[in-house]
Chains A and B, each alone.
Chain A
Amino acid sequence: MRRGTVWGHYIMIAAVGLTLILTHVWIRLRVVSVGYALANTRQLVHTLEEEQQAFKVEWEAITAPGRLTQSAGKRIGLHMPRSEQIIILP
């Protein structure tokens, strides 16, 4: 085998090694970058969950039987039906 070919092989191996190392570094950077994106998304999810909880509480407070009864009576004049007004279907 010629000497030039041997050195060519060495260079190729070195290049492959370097490529692997660079790929590894690149992947690592991507992982970190995706990690940040995930962290941001998690934070967003957390914020949205908190908001949803707040809405849930608000919804429950607005639809509380006491408040509904009061609003129904005051705003649209509803009242509990008398017994003869109740028809229960079989």
Chain B
Amino acid sequence: MAGRLRIVAGVLGVGLLVVLARLVQLTIVEGDFLAQRAAVQHRQSVTVQPYRGAIVDRNDRLLAFSVGAQSLFVRPQKLPADIDVTIPIMAEQLSLSVQQVNHTLHSSTPFVWLKRGVSPREADRVKALGLSGIDSEETQRRIYPQGSLAAPLLGFADVDARGLAGVEYAYDRYLYSKAARTLGERDALGRTIFIHGSPRRPDALQARLTLDAKLQYLAERELERAVQMSGARAGTVLILDPRTFAVLALAQVPTFDPNTPGDSAPDARRNRAISDCYEPGSTLKALLVAAALDSGQVRLQDRIFCEYGGYRVGRHTVHDVHPYGDLSVGQILIKSSNIGAAKIGQRLGKERYYQYLQGFGLGQKTGVDLPGESAGILPALRNWSRIKLVTASFGQGVAVTPLQLASAYAVLANDGVLMRPYVVSEILNAKGDVVHANSPLRLRQVIRPETAQQMLALLEHVVEPGGTGWRAQIEGFRVAGKTGTSQKVDPRGGYSATGRIASFIGIVPADRPQLVILVVIDEPKTAVYGGIVAGPVFQTIAQQALAQLGIAGSQEQPSRVLPYAPFSFGDRGGQGRIAEQQATMLPGQRDGRNFIGLSLREAMRTASQSDMRVVAYGSGYVTRQVLRTDPRTEEPVYELTLETGW
């Protein structure tokens, strides 16, 4: 028994020793060499394709997104001999022409792409044909689910996931994450096990825009309609929040589909709001008047003789559309008198005017976080002749981008402070943490807050009946704005005889500004005036934008109440010509001439019963009434001030 046991133990012991010896040989003596050989055989390097983070609007609505796709490639030398039979099938499956596929398959190069960024389904269909020499590689495809919405602002990315234009380009360093590699082990059947962690998609960052997709759509829809109806060549709409200078919408016609950027003309891909310059025309007069008032060179009540429509400056004559005599500074803006503006410019002086224009940001880039911005054209001061100052006073000889002009008006709506406009508010990581933020950046105080308030009040009159911008009125809201009609520069020199740019820029609600909206229509055919072509576009966009944003209006709005044009703002405060009577009656006393304590509706009823005309400001109840004389009709009119909290 013991002998047999010994034999068994001996055999097992020897076996164990052999195993141990072999173990030592394999792991210690030849360990490194064998490990290397094994690695070559079954280790596999797996590439995780580069990835682009998403772009979302301010409400996290997806504007750009990357999805998994396949890139089909061909090794022509490995293709079967009867490949020509399958060419039409492949062409149909990949939405390519037969010629294209034929050309690719018969290429003389050893490797050629058949189609990049196809859906996995498309790739599977082609691979199901079972052709040797055709294979696919995993890649990413950039999708813009909203189609052409905000396309010039978003830009687009190429097949290698690199941004080429717009936000895609400007924020490429955040949105693009490089390809990653990881190691896996492959078995005899080609199955892979990952030994150094799973092949995770690189953590890409996401960009959140200041843009509101709903406002953007609204702006694009109305702009397209306006361009079509007016037979215009192009158009731009820009919506800015004057409190932060965040761009809420940036629409243009023509535009393009970023899903297929190659199908569009370069003209449609250019972001016109930041790269195209135009002469602002009369919209610049508001900046002139703001500068003149702020510097104390004119006062609102100053009256300026407007030469009855013709004003000679050296060899040149400046004209007005309608002849005017004496106009107050306010009336010059309301009537958009070129001669009046020229004379204000002359009082202001070229040095001051130039400094203010620079202060408003003209002639320099706004610093918006988009590529391809133009600085506009503000000629150097040394080149300003007498006539240059005159023409620059009514917006000729100076060129601005739509964004520059919108920013300059946002200064008026922001208590005189210029800020840097921006389109990307935050960059977020996969967990939603903010890794980069663009907070509102104050640049400088351009004009005093009081001047800005004065300008808003003045610009409100432009939109009232009798002003050039009355078509931009919005029921229930106070609107401040300015029309502009400018001649286009003829490339052969001088100005075009027919080409005009019609524009309107408005601030709403004027009593607590929340939106600055600029509408620019390039070469309208049906009518050329900004008030006629661009004003109604502003009205529609602003009205719906206010509703979308849930912004409540004033209870009543004076311009709707008045059946006639208001008298000059400059006449306010009394110049001896105005009969003024301060109400002395107490609330409750009723004689048909006392409106104190009444709501607007009651005041209107009372006025109509006593055949009196009234103009009302503010909302709530009448707290003050002043009897004035309308200088145009010489008729008495009660000016009522309404306040809440009576």
Whether A14 contacts B120 by the Cβ 8 Å rule is no
Whether A11 contacts B145 by the Cβ 8 Å rule is no
Contact A39 to B9, CB < 8 A, known contacts A14-B16, A50-B67: no
How far is it, in angstroms, between the C-alpha of A66 and the C-alpha of B459 when the chains are bound? 33
B552 contacts A by Cβ under 8 Å: yes
Contact A53 to B67, CB < 8 A, known contacts A14-B13, A64-B145, A64-B146: yes
Which residues of B in the span 1-58 have a Cβ within 8 Å of any Cβ on A?
Answer: 1-2, 5-6, 8-9, 12-13, 16, 19
Whether B198 contacts A57 by the Cβ 8 Å rule is no
Contact A86 to B547, CB < 8 A, known contacts A14-B13, A60-B146, A61-B145: yes
B143 contacts A by Cβ under 8 Å: yes
Which residues of A in the span 1-15 have a Cβ within 8 Å of any Cβ on B?
Answer: 3-4, 7-8, 10-11, 14
Enumerate chain A residues within 8 angstroms of B1, measured Cβ to Cβ: 4
Q: Residue of B at shortest CB range from A66?
A: B217
| Residue in A10, A46, A69 whose CB lies within 8 Å of B13 | A10
| Residue in A7, A21, A42, A83 whose CB lies within 8 Å of B553 | A83
Enumerate chain B residues within 8 angstroms of A86, measured Cβ to Cβ: 547
Q: Residue of B at shortest CB range from A87?
A: B552
Which residues of B in the span 391-436 have a Cβ within 8 Å of any Cβ on A?
Answer: none
Contact A88 to B9, CB < 8 A, known contacts A56-B62, A60-B61: no
* 9-residue interface stretch from B90-98, B186-194, B229-237, B592-600: B186-194
How far is it, in angstroms, between the C-alpha of A6 and the C-alpha of B120 when the chains are bound? 68
| Contact mask for chain B residues 532-567; partner A; CB cutoff 8 A; 1 contact, 0 none | 000000000001100100111100000000000000
Q: List residues of A whose CB falls within 8 A of some B CB.
A: 3-4, 7-8, 10-11, 14, 17, 21, 32, 35-36, 38-39, 42, 46, 49-50, 53-54, 56-58, 60-61, 64-66, 69, 80-81, 83-84, 86, 88
Supply 7 A–B pairs (Cβ within 8 Å), ascending by A: A11-B8, A14-B13, A38-B193, A50-B120, A57-B62, A58-B145, A80-B544
Q: List residues of B whose CB falls within 8 A of some A CB.
A: 1-2, 5-6, 8-9, 12-13, 16, 19, 61-62, 65, 67-68, 120, 143, 145-147, 149, 185, 187, 191-194, 198-199, 213-214, 216-218, 221, 474-477, 543-544, 547, 550-553
Enumerate chain A residues within 8 angstroms of B214, measured Cβ to Cβ: 65
How far is it, in angstroms, between the C-alpha of A4 and the C-alpha of B214 when the chains are bound? 92
Whether B143 contacts A50 by the Cβ 8 Å rule is no
| Residue in A53, A56, A81 whose CB lies within 8 Å of B68 | A53
Q: Residue of A at shortest CB range from B23?
A: A21
Whether B13 contacts A32 by the Cβ 8 Å rule is no
Contact A4 to B16, CB < 8 A, known contacts A57-B65, A66-B221, A80-B544: no
Q: Residue of A at shortest CB range from B193?
A: A35
Q: Residue of B at shortest CB range from A10?
A: B9
Q: Residue of A at shortest CB range from B550?
A: A88
Distance (whole angstroms) from the CB of A37 to the closest CB of chain B: 10
Whether A7 contacts B6 by the Cβ 8 Å rule is yes
Secondary structure at the B interface, as helix, strand, loop or mixed, is mixed
Q: Residue of B at shortest CB range from A17?
A: B16
CB contacts between A and B, total, < 8 Å: 101
Distance (whole angstroms) from the CB of B137 to the closest CB of chain A: 15
Enumerate chain A residues within 8 angstroms of B147, measured Cβ to Cβ: 61, 64, 66
Whether B68 contacts A88 by the Cβ 8 Å rule is no
Whether B475 contacts A84 by the Cβ 8 Å rule is yes
Enumerate chain B residues within 8 angstroms of A66, measured Cβ to Cβ: 146-147, 149, 217, 221
Whether B550 contacts A7 by the Cβ 8 Å rule is no
Distance (whole angstroms) from the CB of A21 to the closest CB of chain B: 8
Distance (whole angstroms) from the CB of B306 to the closest CB of chain A: 36
How far is it, in angstroms, between the C-alpha of A43 and the C-alpha of B195 when the chains are bound? 15
Distance (whole angstroms) from the CB of A55 to the closest CB of chain B: 10
Enumerate chain B residues within 8 angstroms of A49, measured Cβ to Cβ: 68
Enumerate chain B residues within 8 angstroms of A65, measured Cβ to Cβ: 146, 149, 213-214, 216-218
Enumerate chain A residues within 8 angstroms of B8, measured Cβ to Cβ: 11
| Residue in B6, B194, B550 whose CB lies within 8 Å of A39 | B194
Whether A57 contacts B67 by the Cβ 8 Å rule is yes
How far is it, in angstroms, between the C-alpha of A36 and the C-alpha of B187 when the chains are bound? 10
Contact A61 to B146, CB < 8 A, known contacts A56-B62, A69-B217, A83-B547: yes
Whether B474 contacts A60 by the Cβ 8 Å rule is no
What 8 A-B pairs are tightest by C-beta distance, nearest first?
A35-B193, A60-B145, A65-B217, A88-B552, A60-B62, A61-B145, A50-B68, A53-B67
Enumerate chain A residues within 8 angstroms of B198, measured Cβ to Cβ: 38, 42
How far is it, in angstroms, between the C-alpha of A20 and the C-alpha of B494 when the chains are bound? 96
Whether A7 contacts B193 by the Cβ 8 Å rule is no
Enumerate chain A residues within 8 angstroms of B199, measured Cβ to Cβ: 42
Contact A39 to B192, CB < 8 A, known contacts A7-B2, A11-B9: yes
How far is it, in angstroms, between the C-alpha of A35 and the C-alpha of B385 when the chains are bound? 82
Distance (whole angstroms) from the CB of B42 to the closest CB of chain A: 12
Distance (whole angstroms) from the CB of B251 to the closest CB of chain A: 12
Whether B5 contacts A32 by the Cβ 8 Å rule is no
Contact A3 to B2, CB < 8 A, known contacts A11-B12, A50-B120, A56-B65: yes
Q: Residue of B at shortest CB range from A4?
A: B2
Enumerate chain B residues within 8 angstroms of A53, measured Cβ to Cβ: 65, 67-68
Most buried by A among B19, B67, B221, B553: B67
How far is it, in angstroms, between the C-alpha of A47 and the C-alpha of B198 when the chains are bound? 15
How far is it, in angstroms, between the C-alpha of A80 and the C-alpha of B221 when the chains are bound? 13
Enumerate chain A residues within 8 angstroms of B192, measured Cβ to Cβ: 39
Enumerate chain B residues within 8 angstroms of A64, measured Cβ to Cβ: 145-147, 149, 213, 217
Most buried by B among A11, A42, A60: A60
How far is it, in angstroms, between the C-alpha of A58 and the C-alpha of B19 when the chains are bound? 62
Contact A83 to B543, CB < 8 A, known contacts A64-B146, A69-B217: yes
How far is it, in angstroms, between the C-alpha of A57 and the C-alpha of B477 when the chains are bound? 38
Enumerate chain A residues within 8 angstroms of B218, measured Cβ to Cβ: 65
Distance (whole angstroms) from the CB of A20 to the closest CB of chain B: 12
Enumerate chain B residues within 8 angstroms of A21, measured Cβ to Cβ: 19
How far is it, in angstroms, between the C-alpha of A32 and the C-alpha of B193 when the chains are bound? 8
